[in-house]
Amino acid sequence: MADFLFNDIINQNLRTGTDIVQTSGRDAIGVAPWRYACDALATAALQAAHPRFVARSSNGRYWRALPEAGRIAVEVGGAKGDGLTDDGPTIRAAYAYANAVGARAVSFGSAKYRAEPILPAEQLIVGAPPVQLITTSSIQDFGGASFTRQVGGRGLVYHPANVAPIIDLPLAADVMPGAREFALLPGSGAQLAPGDTVVWQLGEFPYDTPETPNWSFATVEAVTGDTVRLDRPSPEGLALSAVTGANKRLRKLNVLRGLVIRDLTLDGTLAEDGVNLSYVERARIERVGGRNIGAGTVVAQYCDGLTIEDCWQEGTTLTQASFGSAFNFAECRNVMLFRPRTRATLSLLNAEAGAQVTVIGGRFENTMTNAQGQSLGSQVVVINVLGRASATVHDLTITGFGGYRLLETSNGQLGYDGSALFSGTLRLNHPTAPYSVPLNGVTGTLDLTIAGTREIYNFERLRHWRKRFVLRDGEYRYAFGPAGLLARARVYATPGVSVGAGSQLTGLWLGRVGNNGSNLADGVTREIEPGRDVNVATYAGDVGGALWTLRNQPLSLLCTTAANAGLNAANEFVEFEGWFAEQADLDVTLSEDAYRIAGVEQDPLEAWLPGYDLPAIAAGASLTVTVPVPDMLPTDFIDSVRFVGGFGGLELRGAEPVAGAIKLILANPGSSSIDRTPTDLGIAFHREVSGN
């Protein structure tokens, strides 16, 4: 090792014949010793552009830092790595020098670097300033280093505007589905050539006009005047008149492809986000974490093919309203999140604007508190999937406080809900119950531990139960179904029945024994639509689905109709079907017969005659009464005949179905005449269904 420093090269007479020297450090012995070469790349121009890495000896020769294993250490440029000195300028200088000499990347020798935002005087780029510039076609391997800051700013940011301006090319004509040719405004075609990369942005969300779900990267195949042909078709059409914002255009820009970022921690209590990517294709982010950052460890927009592996985020308290999800995606597709881990954040995932995300092996620890140390309860939403976005979540574990919401798919804009599916094993372990778990989106296994009590539910084998109410005037009728988690639900009403307040069917209440739950006919959602099968959302934590404290109580249905609704002579009905997930480890399970009571393999019907007045029956006599039941057939099977308040001493000797009626044989075994007071008469019957 030479006995002089990099800063001493200016005083050294390094004569011809010596082409490589090894210094003993940069500005102190033992601090960033490095090799320097005098070759064709080492010039006065290189020194002027990169003075931290190039020096001139006393005899006029130029010496440049040589890459080691293809990398330039940031300490060679003067980075301190003490967590106190702002090493941001040095880090950026190291990347710029590595690009200039063709090195693969830079390396980090210390554990922690303070990297504040770019100062206005240093901003030589367009757009929001990043902590460092991410160059194209590079591997960003930080070797486990940590970046911290003391003032506001953003983390690693790549955006085309950081490298070159974005050129907007507005469309001049409507686009048909499947189109590959796009007509641009006059003169725009001159700005494109075959081989250029563009992104199309067609259409917009009415509530957020900068965002559009119809976008894609494409390569220009040909330009004829102002007509451009691309290498892929548009999946949707666009009428220019339907768009008020700017998203009816092509954008010529620099797409970053093949980016790799790995082994980095971003730490800053006022940072907006960690890794922020725009217009990126085929990127991999590995073992990158965020601590006390705001908008997320990874934030991406207009990206295709992101693989994010073993990344994490930790927080402590809610310091500002913008703090939210650890991973945020808008207008992204083919996003894979492997083993994401978050602690003390408001959300694990936020997907919006048509983003398509798959999460595998995630872990969310619900420990975020406010300044008073209180849990944020239902403000915590583990998975947000909004604006026609979709997510598949496989093997998710949630621990910490209860009271959270597992999923939110609506941002309040009708018709723009997202969708999510939970597969594999969903593990929940909390001292108190979650506020809301959408059971209709769960498949596989729900492994639930609340206050030390563990229950495992199998959603792969659901048990079916059905109840049909043949509607009659003035009804107020209960029906009881099985216990267990209501995983799926469906409701159907015949086309001729009116639904809601002041209508024929005034209520179909779905709840549990001990709690009436939610009215599907006249509730806030008005879920019953006559003539249509309607899937009913079922939530664990919601009264209408499976209130946690009542999940082992039988399902309860209450059907109510208006008086004088004209239903007695009509053939109208409402039917409810439910599919239940039972505990997988119970010693005793409900028998199949209990599930079939309501007619899983039958077609259950019921006639209800309020205030029916039987004729008087003399002592020891019998009487045949024909009761009109318009929808009864001679081939039907009678299940039960009941008078509200009992038979009053009479005996039922026979019940025979005939066309449009039932014949009842009633007997009076007593010694005196019986004249039963008017009471409600119910007749339950069914008919066979063809098939198995």
240 within some domain:
yes
C-alpha dist (Å) from residue 331 to 213, 324, 328, 334, 353: 6, 18, 10, 11, 5
Contacts of 222 (CB under 8 A, 6+ apart): 194, 228, 229
142 within some domain:
no
431 within some domain:
yes
What burial class does residue 441 get, using C-beta atoms within 10 Å of its C-beta: 0-12 exposed, 13-18 middle, 19+ buried? buried
569 and 420 belong to one structural domain: no
**pLDDT means per 10 residues in the chain (692 residues)?**
81 87 90 92 94 94 92 92 87 87 85 73 45 54 77 71 82 94 94 94 89 93 96 94 92 88 79 83 92 86 96 71 76 96 92 96 90 81 94 96 90 88 95 87 91 90 88 83 86 91 88 77 77 86 56 82 86 90 63 46 67 90 91 84 79 88 91 89 72 37
299 and 361 belong to one structural domain: yes
* Residue that is last in its domain, among 425, 458, 491: 458
User: In which residue are the tokens 């209709």 written?
Assistant: 440
C-alpha dist (Å) from residue 233 to 219, 220, 253, 259, 656: 11, 12, 19, 26, 67
Terminal alpha carbon distance of the chain: 88
Of residues 626, 621, 614, 546, the one with CA closest to residue 579? 546
331 within some domain:
yes
Distance CA 302, CA 292 (A): 25
350 and 448 belong to one structural domain: yes
391 and 282 belong to one structural domain: yes
**In this structure, what token pair is assigned to residue 6?**
């990099």
**In this structure, what token pair is assigned to residue 68?**
């080691």
87 within some domain:
no
378 within some domain:
yes
Q: Which letter, b or e, does each residue of 485-520 get, where b requires 16 or more Cβ atoms within 10 Å of its Cβ? A: bbbbbebbbbeebbbeeeebbbbbbbbbeeebbbbb
Q: What is the DSSP string of 346-368?
A: SEEEEEETT-EEEEEEEEEEE--
113 within some domain:
no
297 within some domain:
yes
Cβ-contact 293, 327 below 8 angstroms: no
Q: Collapse the DSSP code of 525 into the 3-class scheme (helix H, G, I; strand E, B; otherwise coil) and give the result.
A: coil
CATH of the domain at 566: 2.60.120
Give the model's pLDDT for residue 320.
46
Distance CA 197, CA 251 (A): 9
Distance CA 337, CA 446 (A): 21
454 and 530 belong to one structural domain: no
486 and 369 belong to one structural domain: no
Distance CA 169, CA 487 (A): 49
Of residues 340, 459, 323, 461, the one with CA closest to residue 397? 340
**In this structure, what token pair is assigned to residue 271?**
């940072």
Residue 333's φ and ψ, nearest 5 degrees, are -140, 160
C-alpha dist (Å) from residue 70 to 63, 81, 106, 284, 433: 18, 21, 8, 20, 54
CATH of the domain at 381: 2.160.20.10
| Total structural domains within the chain | 4
DSSP code, position 674 = B
Distance CA 389, CA 417 (A): 8
Beta pairing, strands 139-148 & 112-114: parallel
563 and 659 belong to one structural domain: no
Q: Collapse the DSSP code of 423 into the 3-class scheme (helix H, G, I; strand E, B; otherwise coil) and give the result.
A: strand
Q: Which domain holds residue 654?
A: 607-687
Sheet holding 215-224, edge to edge: 167-170, 248-252, 197-202, 215-224, 227-230, 181-183
Give the model's pLDDT for residue 138.
65
CATH of the domain at 642: 2.70.40
264 and 404 belong to one structural domain: yes
Cβ-contact 273, 301 below 8 angstroms: no
* Residue that is last in its domain, among 410, 432, 458: 458
pTM over 0.85: no
Distance CA 401, CA 411 (A): 24
299 and 368 belong to one structural domain: yes
* Residue that is last in its domain, among 432, 458, 484: 458
660 and 511 belong to one structural domain: no
C-alpha dist (Å) from residue 530 to 491, 494, 497, 522: 10, 5, 7, 13
Distance CA 672, CA 182 (A): 94
**In this structure, what token pair is assigned to residue 505?**
């069917």
Sheet holding 651-658, edge to edge: 622-628, 661-667, 651-658
555 and 474 belong to one structural domain: yes
Give the model's pLDDT for residue 599.
43
282 and 338 belong to one structural domain: yes
